[in-house]
Each structure stands twice: as C-alpha cells, then as structure tokens.
Amino acid sequence: MISHVSRFIDLNNRKFIIRPKPEDDELLSSWLVRVARAHLTHTTSFTNMHFKEYKANIIWQRDLDIWCPDSLIKRLSFKSGYSENIIFNMTLRSLEGIIADKITGKTNTPNIRALGNYCHIKTKGGLMYCPECLKEDKIAYFRKIWRLEKHSVCYKHNINLLDRCSNCLTPLTISKSYEEKSFVYCYKCGEKIIS
C-alpha cells in the first residue's frame, strides 16, 4: 500500500533502500517516481523526506528533467549509488549542444516541450508517450525522446505520441497517482493511459 508518510520523517542523510535501475533513455522524473513507488510512498512524501534542502517540494513544482541542479544530481547519486553521470544522463540537460545551445530551467527551452507547471500539476501536455511502448515495457517508464518537439511519432510503432488522458483530456502528471495506482493511470480520473 502506498502511504502518505509524514514529511517530518528525516531520511535526508540515508540512502534509498530500493534502487531501481534506470531504463534506456529514461527521464529523471520517471525514474524518481519509480524509486518512490518502489518504497511504497507517495512521490511528494518521498522527496520531502529525502531532500529536506528543497523546501515545499520544489522538485515537483518545476520541470525536474530540465531544472535539476548539479547539487541535486550529486544527492541523487549518493542516495541511489548510481554515478552522477548516470543521473545527469537522465536529464534533458544532457542534450545541451545537441538540441539547443543552452538548456536551463529558467525559461522555455527551444526544441523541448514545456510541461506548464502549476502547483505540482502539469498543464501543457509536454510529457508525451507511446501507449504501445508503455504496454510492451517490462517496467513502464517515460523516455527523454518523447519530450522533444520534433519527435511526435513513435518510430517503433508508427503511431502519434499522446500527451494526455484520452478519457478526461488531462495532461499527464506522473508524480501524482490515482488511488495508489501506477503512472500508467490518469491521476485525475483513474483511466488507464495504455490500452
């Protein structure tokens, strides 16, 4: 059972007990949600307990995949046991010089779809996905390539990428869940985003 553990439990200096392996081309936000769920803890509760220096859960109020500062990458490396290079390569900043000259979390970045963060809720549908890829995944995860503006079709399945729940049309917010279900369910209505 996923729990809303008190944010006052201090795990700031402790390593993660469970450390899921990052998948190929996985977004940092996708991996961190999987880490929290592996610990049977809501994502925001998990990050509040493990990262006290990021007050009011700024981690989920921003676009983690672009914004993630070097200090957080270092902390994630310590807590997970994965190298800073592995953690950094899950961010979109790792594509700096390839898709854009400079990638910062301060403004919309050319060639990357904006999430439109508002109080932990994503409003712009910048996180796209291929329902067939998610269905085939042994462990469902979101890819970096799906955040790129020029990538709107899944090359493997030759179908358009989706950016929201087909039932209620709400953009994905994978850090939230519906009735303790995984992020392949819409956090708002509970509909499965893969068929």
Q: Is residue 122 within a helix (H) or strand (E), and if so which, with residue range?
A: strand 121-122
pLDDT recorded at residue 62: 85
Q: What is the DSSP letter of 117?
A: E
Find tokens 């209620």 and name the residue: 168
Give the DSSP letter of residue 143.
Answer: B
CB neighbours of 178 closer than 8 A, spacing ≥ 6? 185, 186, 187, 188, 189, 190
Mean pLDDT by 10 residues, the chain (195 residues): 58 93 97 94 89 81 90 97 98 90 75 74 78 94 95 95 91 81 86 85
Indicate the residue type of 55. K
Q: How many CB atoms lie within 10 A of CB 137?
A: 15
pLDDT for res 1 = 47
What does the pLDDT read at residue 70?
A: 94
Q: Measured between alpha carbons, how far is residue 131 from residues 83, 141, 174, 184 in Å?
A: 30, 11, 14, 9
Q: What pLDDT does residue 145 have?
A: 96
Q: Which residues pair with 121 in a beta bridge?
A: 118
Is 21 strand, coil or helix?
Answer: coil
Tokens of 9: 């439990």
* Partners of 96 in the β-ladder: 100
pTM, full prediction: 0.91
